Amino acid sequence: MSFPLLTATAVAPALGAVVTAAVPSARRTAAKWTALAFSLITVGLAAAVLIRFEPGGDRYQLTESHSWIADFGVRYELGVDGIAVAMVALTAVIVPFLIGAGWNDADHAQDAPAARRWRPTQGFFALILMVEAMVVMSFMATDVFLFYIFFEAMLIPLYFLIGGFGDRAGEHPESEQAKQRSYAAVKFLLYNLAGGLVMLAAVIGLYVVAADDLAGGGTFSLQTLVEARASGELTFAESTERWLFLGFFFAFAIKAPLWPVHTWLPNAMGESTAPVAVLITAVVDKVGTFAMLRFCLGLFPEASVWATPVVLVLALVSIVYGALLALGQRDMKRLIAYASISHFGFIILGIFAMTSQGQSGATLYMINHGVATAALMLVAGFLISRRGSRLIGDYGGVQKTAPLLAGTFLVAGLATLSLPGTGPFVSEFLVLVGTFSRYPVAGIVACTGIVLAALYVLILYQRTMTGPVTEAAGKMRDLRPRELAVVTPLIALLIFLGVFPKPLTDIVNPAVNHTMSDVGKTDPAPAELEARK
Amino acid sequence: MSPENYLYLSALLFTIGACGVLIRRNAIVVFMCIELMLNAANLALVAFSRMHGNLDGQIAAFFVMVVAAAEVVVGLAIIVMLYRSRHSASVDDASLMKL
Amino acid sequence: MESLIGGLVAAPLLGAAVLLTGGRRLDRSGHWLGTALAGLSFVFAAVLFFDMLGKDAEERTLTSHLFSWVPVEGFQADVAFQLDQLSMTFVLLVTSVGSLIHLYSVGYMAHDERRRRFFGYLNLFMGAMLLLVLADNYLLLYVGWEGVGLASFLLIGFWQHKPSAATAAKKAFIVNRVGDVGLAIAIFLMFTTFGSFAFSAVLDEQVAAGAGQATLTGIGLMLLLAACGKSAQVPLQSWLGDAMEGPTPVSALIHAATMVTAGVYLVVRSADIFNLTPDAQLVVTIVGAASLLFGAFVACAKDDIKKSLAGSTMSQIGYMMLAAGLGPIGYVFAIMHLVTHGFFKAGLFLGAGSVMHAMNDEVDMRRYGALRRHMPVTFVTFGLAYLAIIGFPGLSGFFSKDEIIYAAFAKGGTQGWILGGVTLLGAALTAYYMTRMMLLTFFGEKRWQPDAAGREPHPHEAPRVMTIPMIVLAVGSVGAGAYFSLGERFAHWLEPVTGLGHEEAPLSHGMVSLAATAVMLIGVAGAWAQYGRRPVPLVAPAGRWVTRAARRDLLQDDFNHAVLVRPGNYLTRGLVYVDHKLVDGVVNGTAAAFGGLSGRLRRVQNGFARSYAVSMFGGAAVLVAATLLMRAV
């Protein structure tokens, strides 16, 4: 038996979480370095996965399969396709930056006398690593039940991350911020649990149907189910398939989040610290869109096609609505949250446009949005940490006193508005082209998102960074070396992905072709070539 | 004598016990009423055992007796503790567990 | 040779990267590095140009494939360049004017502490502009297209501490973004129609003819929308005037000579599509004509020297756009006017910058006057550029503009007469506003005022590093037109790319020239009557409603504000309310409902053991009753 590389990739951060949590209370610097070391080990393992993965090879590679709960056909099955490889790499790459950016974020909680016993610094980093482990696991699980477990379990550490750690030092537990934060954490948990509950019903339903049809008895194995569907051994009644699809989709739409079940995200991102906000939007939410591609389209292709019109409309509403609301925000973290909702609209649009360009674009979008939002949110976090206010109106003229901060903020913002030369442009354009070639009107409506993105990003930049130097900006320190070390690689990555995305597309394309053939769709042919025939 | 009469007696005892539990405030009396109900059940079990001609009911009755004995031990201890702390054996005074 | 094309683009981009990331170390030498790289790019361009001249007209196109950019199933975007005569024209214009303006900026920005960054942005602009004109497919062109928009944004807002500059920068970017959406949709349409957006696949009359007329018109109109954004044409013109908040060299390079003409490049580059769709072509000419008059009116009324020049730029690009809309009879002259305009307008802006430099950054022409004796070099170069733009016989503008007027008449029919009339009216207005500018600035008596800090202006000639570029551009303004026109040299140069049409106009060439010269003289005389003979008041007279409207840019901002900004604000605020109260309200309401319900249910748990016992017995009784009932049924 070969070395279980995928398991190792998930176990490394989990182990890191345990070790970090065990570091004694007084040694919080040691805890930070431990967490960083384990996150870097995970990067190494993810890189190994990336290298071992052959783009032209089997659909799922590096597979591991063990029986787990034999009575219910639950297996411990892992495997990655091109999309999953990309997502695992994204997760592994982002987390060290979050640890670097959040280096001192939990320390003030430690200084509060009442909290000394629960070691917040250790807890903060352990929880982040725990989330990473679960996210990685859910990207790799090819057993529906196994996926479900981690899909739900990641809510627990996230709940504590949102509820337990805020922007302000030494805030009173009865203060307005603390109440808002606890509201955000509970809202996050309830929303996602509600989705998970519905999904659980669908998971069980899937098992029941499979147990009826398959000779080998009920199973949760994705590969077995997809193959059985393709061979006709497994058939769903039309209404059954639709209900099961809706069950899965509901959970993923909440996680993604899609309008109108999006309202937990601005609260969660606004109230948590910047690294946690990035963790939510750049990594955890991607599980939702990833799962749409893998489970909704893979298991229920006909229902997916059936639901496409509604999903497209919801995605378009998300794009425009998220962008307009971003324009109306006074809190910069909430602004970024609404911008993310708009971007998730693009991702879902790309997935359900059912074209190669759309789905490749959506996959690239997940990566690029992760990196771009990470950069923007972390720089915003640095800004907020200097003044302690999240309100846009409290800043102005920062560019004069902290040019590096303003410059990185601008570059990250430009990436967020999909400027050519940065990664998000490639993905957004692919999504739009893919959508347009099948649904021209949807493509054009989505284009309004391009203009609105420019508006909210540039207005944010103008209000915070330009203009006369305000009192707040006057004493502002420019980026520290640690902060620069966090932001620079992210920006370099964004530009690299914009100029030379080929390594990524090479990995993603075959997986997208598989998904397209699952759904049984082919790209529309160019009109002029059609006419010539 | 038909075994049915035992069942009537059992039902009567059970009802008396239940009414006692509901009506009386004194914890000791409530406790005795519970014992009465348990024994009513025992009587019914033994009667059924006789009616069906096997020993299952009697075995169950033994179990009930064992449980009742254990219950008496724990329950009386609680009642004694309650009495010590509040100088009353009224069950209505012990409503601290409500939310 | 092919690899030089990559070097051409890479040199300024490298400069931008080094200057923007190099840090303080480069503060002292950075501007020379930037200028040197711009110059290097010009040298590459010159080498390529002479190489190209050595080949036959049909074999001059060079291509260079660098790498595969976005390979996705059915979608192929490459980083590849194509250098043909049209691109070459632009490359030479961009690198030559660009290098000169780099040089000028060394002097102009000498006292700015962020000069290094300024040169980084200028280099970024040059790289993006070269990418734009050298791209061999529309997607790469789009990269350059937004790249120059970014550079424009950064440079307009270079003095970010001024709120007006920051606002102008944002406005320019966003208005351009609207245009960019047009380009994006045009690319979508090409992709869905032809399965590709490479020039080699799309720009072929036979291929294009296979597409439906509606599709072609759609592509044409979307390309036009993009061109309107970038070239500040009606209806996306509103950003150009505000863009004058940027440093003057920026206005000269980006907002006069090169970037704003990219729209004309786009239309001429897509000639094969436009030739097949008369409807789109007609819209192009209408947009051109409208912008021509719009810009000219605004230029007549503005007292701010740079904003007046901005109006003039818009008007001149209107000429080019109009010519490009005329089809093969106009393409060559659109580009020719574009090149000559690049020289004289850059010269005018640099002259204006020199004047501002001398006058403590005063921009109000009514506070200038009598500067010709104090700034002789500026006066002469500005004067030559002035003569060129108004179409003084023998100078550049005369040749390029007359050809456009002639082509407009050659359109034929009523349309021809209308377009011809518009171009002639434009010529008169051009002469009027430029003469006005000339008189207000260099003639008359001193009307100098102390600036806000109370310093009296002491006009002096600019340093040599600034005057040399002005002199070179003045030479170009004088000679370029005649050189290009001699033996239709320029037309033959571009013909393999754009084609060349010959239509007979109802007026002969001589008559058009005569008419153009006549209206020019009328314009000059009108301005002289108003500003040359009489003393100029320091504060502008209120004027009639036309003047007032023109001063407010013909109410463009009021219109945009009323139609777009204000409803947008209301919509946004309304949606924030809806999201909070309605969407979130449903969720919070559900939560509150459950909370209330559980509050009620909680009361049942009263803590009395006996009441629990009642419910237990009650439950048991119900169960027994239910069992009996089921038995009975």
Residue A73 reports pLDDT greater than 80? yes
The pLDDT confidence band at residue A113, using thresholds 50, 70 and 90, is low
Highest mean pLDDT range out of A505-519, B56-70, C573-587?
B56-70
Give the mutation candidate from C608, C616, C617 for the B interface (greatest B CB count, under 10 A).
C608
Give pLDDT, residue B98: 59
Residue A468's CB is within 10 A of a number of other CB atoms, namely 12
List chain C residues with CB under 8 Å of A513: 73
Closest chain C residue by Cα to residue B19: C614
Q: With contact defined as beta carbons under 8 Å apart, do C18 and C33 qualify? A: yes
| Over residues A39-58, mean pLDDT | 90
To the nearest whole percent, how much of chain C has pLDDT over 90?
A: 42
| Over residues A226-252, mean pLDDT | 88
Question: B74-93 b/e with 16+ CB inside 10 Å = b?
Answer: ebeeebeebeeeeeebebee
**Tokens 């786009």, located at residue:** C266
Tokens of A137: 């696991």
Contact: C160, A523; criterion CB under 8 Å: no
Q: Does residue B92 lie in a domain region? A: no
From first CA to last CA, the distance across chain C in angstroms is 99
Whether the CB of C584 is below 8 Å from some CB of chain A: the reply is yes
Question: C353-362 b/e with 16+ CB inside 10 Å = b?
Answer: bbbbbbbbeb
Residue C333's CB is within 10 A of a number of other CB atoms, namely 29
Give pLDDT, residue A110: 60
By Cβ distance, the residue of C605, C610, C617 closest to B99 is: C605
Residue A320 reports pLDDT greater than 70? yes
Contact: A263, C587; criterion CB under 8 Å: yes
Tokens of A437: 């070639």
| Over residues C500-524, mean pLDDT | 86
More confident residue, A108 or C169: C169
The pLDDT confidence band at residue A444, using thresholds 50, 70 and 90, is very high
| Over residues C450-472, mean pLDDT | 85
Give pLDDT, residue C613: 86
Contact: C617, B22; criterion CB under 8 Å: yes
By Cβ distance, the residue of A328, A506, A532 closest to C572 is: A328
Distance from CA of C264 to the nearest CA of A (A): 21
Distance from CA of A20 to the nearest CA of C (A): 36
Distance from CA of B31 to the nearest CA of C (A): 12
DSSP for A374-391 reads HHHHHHHHHHHHHHS--B
Q: With contact defined as beta carbons under 8 Å apart, do C130 and C12 qualify? A: yes
Q: Could you check whether the bond before residue A260 is cis, i.e. omega within 30 degrees of 0?
A: yes
Q: With contact defined as beta carbons under 8 Å apart, do A297 and A116 qualify? A: no
Least confident of A102-116, B43-57, C190-204: A102-116
Q: How far apart are CA C105 and CA C127, in angstroms?
A: 17
Residues in B whose CB is inside 8 Å of some CB of C read 18, 21-22, 25, 30, 91-92, 94-99
Cα distances from C222 to residues C200, C440, C491, C632, in angstroms, run 20, 41, 28, 80
**Measured on CA atoms in the order A299, A305, A309, A313, is the torsion positive or negative?**
positive
Q: How far apart are CA C86 and CA C336, in angstroms?
A: 11
Whether the CB of C29 is below 8 Å from some CB of chain A: the reply is no
Taking each helix axis as running N to C, give the angle between helix C278-301 and helix C413-442, from 0 to 180 degrees, rounded to the nearest 10. Answer: 20
Residue B16's CB is within 10 A of a number of other CB atoms, namely 14
Burial class (CB in 10 A: 0-12, 13-18, 19+), A52: middle
Mean pLDDT, chain A, whole residue set = 88
Distance from CA of C590 to the nearest CA of B (A): 23
The pLDDT confidence band at residue A533, using thresholds 50, 70 and 90, is low
Give pLDDT, residue A2: 75
Give pLDDT, residue A173: 63
Q: How far apart are CA C463 and CA C59, in angstroms?
A: 45
Residue A170 reports pLDDT greater than 60? no
Residue-wise pLDDT for C349-383, tens only, equals: 999 999 988 888 888 888 888 888 888 899 999 99
More confident residue, C587 or A153: A153
Closest chain C residue by Cα to residue A467: C161
The pLDDT confidence band at residue C549, using thresholds 50, 70 and 90, is confident
Whether the CB of C617 is below 8 Å from some CB of chain B: the reply is yes
Residue-wise pLDDT for A419-434, tens only, equals: 999 999 999 999 999 9
Q: How far apart are CA B24 and CA B48, in angstroms?
A: 31
Give pLDDT, residue C37: 92
DSSP C254: I
ipTM of the predicted structure? 0.91
Identity of the residue numbered A433: V
Give pLDDT, residue A117: 55
| Over residues A166-191, mean pLDDT | 78
Give pLDDT, residue A319: 94
| Over residues A244-255, mean pLDDT | 93
Give the mutation candidate from C68, C115, C194, C579 for the A interface (greatest A CB count, under 10 A).
C579
Q: How far apart are CA C470 and CA C462, in angstroms?
A: 10
Whether the CB of C201 is below 8 Å from some CB of chain A: the reply is no
Closest by Cα among C177, C179, C183, C133 to C153: C177
Closest chain C residue by Cα to residue B25: C610
To the nearest whole percent, how much of chain C has pLDDT over 70?
A: 100
Contact: C617, B92; criterion CB under 8 Å: no
| Over residues C225-244, mean pLDDT | 90
Whether the CB of A346 is below 8 Å from some CB of chain C: the reply is no
**HSE-up (13 A, CA, CB side) for residue C485:** 20
Give pLDDT, residue A495: 93
SS3 string, B4-69, reads HHHHHHHHHHHHHHHHHHHHCCEHHHHHHHHHHHHHHHHHHHHHHHHHHCCCHHHHHHHHHHHHHH
Residue C203 reports pLDDT greater than 90? no
Whether the CB of A327 is below 8 Å from some CB of chain C: the reply is yes
**HSE-up (13 A, CA, CB side) for residue C44:** 24
To the nearest whole percent, how much of chain A has pLDDT over 90?
A: 53
Q: With contact defined as beta carbons under 8 Å apart, do A311 and A357 qualify? A: no
| Over residues C418-443, mean pLDDT | 91
By Cβ distance, the residue of C572, C584, C591 closest to A327 is: C572
Give the mutation candidate from C14, C70, C125, C143 for the A interface (greatest A CB count, under 10 A).
C70
Q: Does residue B53 lie in a domain region? A: yes
Domain range for B71: 3-86
All structural domains of chain A with their residue ranges = 5-532
Residue C269 reports pLDDT greater than 80? yes
**Tokens 């009755």, located at residue:** B61
Maximum Cα–Cα distance for chain B, whole Å? 52
Q: With contact defined as beta carbons under 8 Å apart, do C220 and C212 qualify? A: no
Alpha helices of C232-362 — where are they, by DSSP H? Answer: 239-242, 248-252, 262-269, 271-274, 278-301, 305-325, 328-358
Report the alpha-carbon angle A416-A422-A426, nearest 5. Answer: 95
**Chains with ≥3 Cβ pairs under 8 A against A?**
C
The residues pairing with C70 across neighbouring beta strands, listed in sequence order, are C77
Count of domains forming chain B: 1
Q: How far apart are CA A336 and CA C463, in angstroms?
A: 48
CATH number at residue B46: 1.10.287.3510
**Measured on CA atoms in the order C97, C99, C100, C105, is the torsion positive or negative?**
positive
Give pLDDT, residue A109: 65
Query: How far does Cα C565 stand from its chain's mean position?
Result: 21
DSSP A71: G
Residue B79 reports pLDDT greater than 60? yes
| Over residues A169-185, mean pLDDT | 75
**HSE-up (13 A, CA, CB side) for residue C521:** 6
Residue A315 reports pLDDT greater than 90? yes
Whether the CB of C22 is below 8 Å from some CB of chain A: the reply is no
